[in-house]
Amino acid sequence: MALPSGPAALRHTLLLLPALLSSGCGELEPQIDGQTWAERALRENERHAFTCRVAGGPGTPRLAWYLDGQLQEANTSRLLSVGGEAFSGGTSTFTVTAHRAQHELNCSLQDPSSGRSANASVILNVQFKPEIAQVGAK
């Protein structure tokens, strides 16, 4: 089956354009463990590896991890380049050891070619054992 050419191809492309734009095709949106926003319950001192994924697109973006707003080093990162002008997708993994003071983990995508950025976030609900405080102890 041959693809339409000339005016017919243009008409088909114009008809598909709204569907492509509304579906998010071509947008670089990172996801942490398959979601752009989530809440994760962790016990204090529990270790958990989070994976940030981004689909392919133009340019080669950068992925960075932030824990409570502070830049962190990723455990592993891999972006699959296609000829230096596009990439076919990528992942970055960051392992957290849960502490009481931690609240939010972000995977930030920066696309240097367009200047665009996007984020995925996980709210860390750190559960810890209660402490018994003595009132008036000497």
CA angle, corner 123, sides to 129 and 118, nearest 5? 160
pLDDT per residue of the chain (138 residues) written in tens, 0 to 9: 444 455 444 343 333 333 333 334 446 789 998 888 899 999 999 999 999 988 876 667 788 899 999 998 876 666 554 445 555 578 888 899 998 877 899 999 888 778 888 999 999 999 988 888 888 766
Q: β-strand 116-127 against 37-43: which pairing, if any?
A: parallel
Helix (H, G, I), strand (E, B), or coil: what is residue 60? coil
Place of tokens 């981004």: 54
Domain chopping of the chain, boundaries? 27-127
**What distance in Å separates the CA atoms of residue 100 and residue 94, rounded to the nearest whole number?**
18
Q: Which two tokens stand for residue 82?
A: 């296609």
**What distance in Å separates the CA atoms of residue 24 and residue 19, rounded to the nearest whole number?**
9
pTM score, whole prediction = 0.67
Fold that domain 27-127 belongs to in CATH = Immunoglobulin-like (2.60.40)
Tens digits of per-residue pLDDT, 10-26? 343 333 333 333 334 44
Determine the residue type at 120.
A
